[in-house]
Structure 1
């Protein structure tokens, strides 16, 4: 497919901007069941070994020096750096236990450290974690894999980037969020233009292949003018990728958000104006809208993968290396192996206790049935390629698409009439004005949100953020 320009239609956005999942997985995490049996995980890994697919590894490091009020991540806020080592010892145990089940020759095409703030740990602890990982898994010795890490630029030592490059990382994801001092004060997140610029320059000199910067719109005291100024600085720094995330104010779910003064939040109208202006500014700077808040340079691997029809989506967002089984380590992390999801305990005591007994720390999970797998394929095509080919799905899953999804196609008729999506002789194609509302389109194919499941419908607003 070819990349296209996003068109802004205020009327359609007003009508379709509802709450809904982000579809980093399907089925989504609320469907996971407690007490998921380890045997299901073991069987899935055995099938995975037989298939011989490459691996994606994720490591969750939950520590942060300070709290960012907007944050909804699983985190532990502490200034005591010594708290990291006992956790890392447990993480090393989990790596060793899981590696016993996995064929050692399988290549690791993707690796990601997230958090929290992964750079909370010391340089020596970073080296040791990567050494232990390389001891048990087949890491790439060159830059053929996509090995990335999330960093908080505020106060990060420049020399730490050299360490990250030394141990194998080739991509950085930098959480900037906003440069405006008033906004930073309101959310307790500080990083200056000078700090970020110095890190970006050092990253290029160290030979990192890609730099991604994250921003959030909808924070207190933001306006079109403040976001325009922040984006001017960002564009001047020339990152290969940029994410513009919607701030979802949900203090009933995330306690830290209770510290945000709601009176400072932009109105719904202003928030949409910020997004519209930002999209226009980024497209004018030659960034391509990949989808779901993500932008990238035309030559970036994400854009190339989308153009070639190979773009994928997982718990870390869009990915260029498809057909990987994801093994996730650390508290709250979610593995996606073969046809199952498995989530670790969300608190450190439970996580450490399981590992101290020599067992893997799985707390929740889900075994996907054939219908789940089929609908996941449809949703992934829509969310990654903005189209769905009936013949491809029908042949792959031994169904007649139009018969199997007759109810869903009927539900799409209002969206077709409104110009969000086109029904062609070959399948479905999302229009330029439908791309921003792709989450709403995908919800039609989400069996767990079907009109007949009233409980699911009622929980949408409580569980999920609005689309924009």
Structure 2
């Protein structure tokens, strides 16, 4: 069961019926992890996290791949009303220097248990807005990380960029610091939409920055888009898509806006009557699929598109795709060390998340403690289901024998209920199930989160607890 031919550049764009889009217009996890972060518990704390670090150091029960690092920079100068990230709005840039001092303490505490000389093949700076930091602070941050870790040549080193906070000269600094991948937050090019979400950035500014990035030799440039924002319509979004095709980034992340003002205070500034109806959102999604695939983009899976020549699309075709808290990746399943307030990491068979407020983060580090607030040690069943879900999300197929050999189970009796549930999806042409395994079809790739949800034990037992974004 090979998925290498699925959604290659030579395959005609898939036509998805409005009825099928409507049927799967439901909320579900993004599966950057399994179990998902809403299942983490406070019973898992600093002591448990330290134990996992020391186990990696000793090579006990961990995969000794190079590390992946995530560094969360929470600050932003201005508030985007749609934002659901953990961020701090401030124009006081001196707060960045203070934050980096505490971040250094956190790294030192991790290294004390992890050991020096750890190799890193992935780095991602997220936020907030990492480019809130000054040039000198970015230099200090990278110098600090390089003192404590060994960065491999040819690794993936990325940073999220707010176009309003950088110039071509700043992009040149990022290249000199070793970043080889950029992600620009665009969301929408329409002025009325930008005004409605309080994020004004002229299209010409983004085009100039992307052109400068190409001249500087960045290996991959990503653009984030959101559909379902206030003042958007299928017609206005078509105009944004046309500009994105002209911009031609290597990768495009296309997210559905989830309006949850009761959970995310900034969204209370968005008037519900300004939001497009569900039928318009589905029309925007269908339009994006049609326009982007006709322009030569490959649907990598779950909101992500990439040019056929991009490493992500190549990894997809070759069956080498992986997934972590930063999304799809070409790197092996690394242990992920998460640094900074609210960040989430994975080491061995455990997940951990830092405290979510600066006050608590600084206080714990002042005490010489790692700022872990909660986490999870995966059970045997979690590990089995994780293997199945990640195989579906990344490779588009599951071979029964490989799961059986890896986890010493008999797949069909173990997942009898799930296989029965898949029969309906098979009838709809989303999956093909035979005696050897499960294959996500070309059509099914657009609903892969829904396929993965079938194997999520936590959703089976508690469907109403977590609130997730729409799966398409």
TM-score by length of 2: 0.95
CA contact (8 A) 2:46 2:373 kept: no
Matched residue, 1:234: 244
1:130 aligns with 2:138: no
Q: Which residue of 400, 412, 415 maps to 2:410? A: 400
Confirm or deny that 1:292 pairs with 2:302: yes
Q: For residues 243-292 of structure 1, give each alpha carbon's deviation from its aligned partner in whole angstroms, at most 9, with x where no partner exists.
A: 11110111111110000011111110011001101110000100000011
CA RMSD in angstroms, aligned pairs only: 1.3
> Partners of 2:402 and 2:379 in 1: how far apart?
20
Unaligned runs of 5+ in 2: 8-12
Q: Is the 8 A contact 2:131 2:165 kept in 1?
A: no
Find out whether 1:341 has 2:351 as its counterpart: yes
Which stretch shifts more, 230-239 or 193-202? Answer: 230-239
Q: Give, in angstroms, the shift of residue 155 of structure 1.
A: 4.4
Q: What pairs with 1:125-164 in structure 2 (closer than 5 Å)?
A: 125-140=137-152, 142=153, 144-164=154-174
The Cα shift of 1:378 comes to: 0.4
Q: Distance in 2 between matches of 1:365 and 1:124?
A: 34
Q: Output one character per residue of 1:18-68: Cα deviation in whole Å (capped at 9) or x when no partner.
A: 111111110001110014232321222233231422100000000001000
Return closer, same or farther for 1:268/1:299 CA change in 2, 3 Å cut-off: same
Q: Greater shift after overlay, 231-240 or 247-256?
A: 231-240
Which residue of the partner structure matches residue 253 of structure 2?
243
Tell me how far 1:217 sits from its aligned partner. 0.4
Q: Counterparts of 1:226-375 in structure 2 under 5 Å?
A: 226-375=236-385
Work out the CA distance in 2 between the residues paired with 1:122 and 1:3: 43
8 Å CA contact retained: 1:53, 1:106:
no
The answer as to 2:35 corresponding to 1:27 is: yes
The residue number in structure 2 matching 1:45 is: 53
1:94/1:360 contact within 8 Å kept: yes
- SS in structure 1 opposite 2:29? coil
SS at match of 2:209: helix
Distance 1:43 1:28 in 2: 22
Equivalent residue, structure 2, for 1:68: 80
Please identify runs of 4+ aligned residues in structure 1 that moved more than 6 A.
Answer: none
| 1:457 alignment counterpart | 463
Structure 2 CA distance, aligned partners of 1:438 and 1:6? 14
1:466: how far off?
2.1
Aligned to 1:178: 188
Deviation, structure 1 residue 132: 0.5
In the alignment, is the contact (CA less than 8 A) between 1:162 and 1:206 conserved in 2? yes
Task: Name the SS of the counterpart of 2:6 in structure 1.
Answer: coil
Higher deviation after alignment, 172-181 or 223-232: 223-232
Distance 2:109 2:51 in 1: 15
Q: Is the Cα–Cα contact under 8 Å of residues 154 and 192 in structure 1 kept in the other structure? A: no
Q: Distance in 2 between matches of 1:237 and 1:223?
A: 21
2: CA distance, partners of 1:161 / 1:258: 34
Aligned to 2:454: 444
Find 2:419's aligned residue among 405, 409, 412. 409
Aligned-pair CA distance for 1:92? 1.0
- Report the number of matched residues: 460
Q: What SS does structure 1 have at the residue aligned with 2:215?
A: helix
Q: Work out whether residues 58 and 113 of structure 1, in 8 Å CA contact, stay in contact via their aligned partners in 2.
A: yes
2:101 aligned with 1:101 = no
Q: 1:155 to 1:111 in 2, by over 3 A?
A: closer
Could you tell me how far 1:192 is from its partner in structure 2? 1.1
Which runs of 5 or more structure 1 residues have no equivalent in the other structure?
none
The answer to which of 428-437 and 276-285 deviates more is 428-437
Q: What corresponds to 2:471 in structure 1?
A: 467
User: Is the 8 Å Cα contact of residues 126 and 159 (structure 2) preserved in structure 1?
Assistant: yes
Question: By how many angstroms is 1:116 displaced?
Answer: 0.2
